[in-house]
Structure 1
């Protein structure tokens, strides 16, 4: 399971994306999520694909690793594609079989939405794959600093989000171990009536919750024993540095956004 889990993991490498300022990466992902909705035809989605592939190449993350990470959501992508094919009634009918009619608009929309979903997963996953949790925390805190004027606990919010991302793969690994242990005791998670499969989830959830609360308590104790008292007055060993590399990638995203807007149909 861990080999197929990419969201929340950090993969060390010597790449341009790894060396980027975490603030730039956070802004890049946020703006990419907004920008991709400008794509609505083959040309614009082609440009988004080129940009996404370029980021993957710069990150030096193995494509097979990303492909394995997409497998858990592959069924959801296919399901989204089929929904548009079956229920979108736009354009000419390109296939007809009994009551089943497949329209050109449904096929096009299904393909575009599936591609959009895939690009979003890949780019957002690159954030955690190329950025350590502590760097994400520092980047979030710096970007949200203006909100301190309204007495918002910015440091604590950034820390909670970072810890949540960090423990996603840990919880998945714990789930995998519990499932194997329960399967060795005769619990079947994959076959039988739906009612029995739902019941079999209970022996999985109970130890998972117990383990999660225990891990959270150990983390709180470790932070307290090291003198953690929140963000007020804390100093940082690593200082963030925005450089030319960050400017170039942000400029590339701006160019992409302009092209998508001009080439919209």
Structure 2
């Protein structure tokens, strides 16, 4: 559970930390968009270099980013293997029974692997350098044009903020409950699939009970402080868009144009 770093913030004063959370969120969306134009070795190397440069500028240790990839290793390997062994296009390089590896399948597997890793790295960079409250303020600010359409902009930002805030807490609760159950003799990594699923039940029940209790306490605390939604509320944290934020967006657009020009048709 310690490897899950979603919702965790690493304090710092780097260039990435000082950016407006709206620019970082927009850069994240643009990165996810342009990454699908990277369909050859050159474009993937450019994206990898850009991501490594952003990580270096953030001042955050690379070990945190590898921790972010670790929970997704199973999904990444499954998707990569599916592309590798079931893509029949191209020249066969290896065959063993019904399994076959082609040059096109190998290339597609490498591209899919890079896309997963780079998206996880970039999203991890966003959460590690941006506080959950700032991220929710950015979402609320970017969705503000939808407010005349009766979209609950403030409530969406509040839900995002609470979700990110309590992910580490839920993980800590899960670890605490697992340790307590292990002390009582419960084995989570032994037996067949059915036995392992049954062993999860002693974790889920107290975890749900603890979550509902915490949610009820949070609701009471908000009501006691007179919370009534976003109407008429002032802002303690004022977002300030600077020229560095505009430069980041222009850099992402330039990166997208470069990848579009260099991508294989």
TM-score, normalized by length of structure 2? 0.96
TM-score, normalized by length of structure 1? 0.96
**1:153-172 correspondence to structure 2 within 5 Å:** 153-172=152-171
- Asked if 1 retains the 8 angstrom alpha-carbon contact of 2:68 and 2:120, the reply is no
Cα distance in 2 for residues equivalent to 1:198 and 1:226: 42
CA displacement at 1:68 relative to structure 2:
2.3
Cα distance in 2 for residues equivalent to 1:90 and 1:228: 59
Select between 64-73 and 135-144 the one with higher mean Cα deviation.
Answer: 64-73
CA displacement at 1:57 relative to structure 2:
1.0
CA displacement at 1:108 relative to structure 2:
0.8
- Residue deviations 1:9-36, cap 9 Å, x none? 1111111111111111111111111111
SS across alignment from 1:205 = helix
**For residue 68 of structure 2, what is the aligned residue in structure 1?**
69
Unaligned runs of 5+ in 1: none
SS across alignment from 2:18 = coil
Over aligned residues, Cα RMSD in angstroms?
Answer: 1.2
CA displacement at 1:155 relative to structure 2:
0.3
**For residue 39 of structure 1, what is the aligned residue in structure 2?**
38
Cα distance in 2 for residues equivalent to 1:248 and 1:78: 36
Unaligned runs of 5+ in 2: none
**1:206-217 correspondence to structure 2 within 5 Å:** 206-217=205-216
**For residue 15 of structure 2, what is the aligned residue in structure 1?**
16
Cα distance in 2 for residues equivalent to 1:234 and 1:36: 38
CA displacement at 1:257 relative to structure 2:
0.1
- Residue deviations 1:172-199, cap 9 Å, x none? 1111111111111111111102111111
SS across alignment from 1:8 = coil
- Residue deviations 1:20-75, cap 9 Å, x none? 11111111111111111111110111111111111111111100121122222122
SS across alignment from 2:258 = helix
SS across alignment from 1:17 = helix
Taking structure 1 as reference, are residues 99 and 139 closer, same or farther at Cα in structure 2, changes over 3 Å only? closer
Across the two proteins, how many residue pairs are aligned to each other? Answer: 264
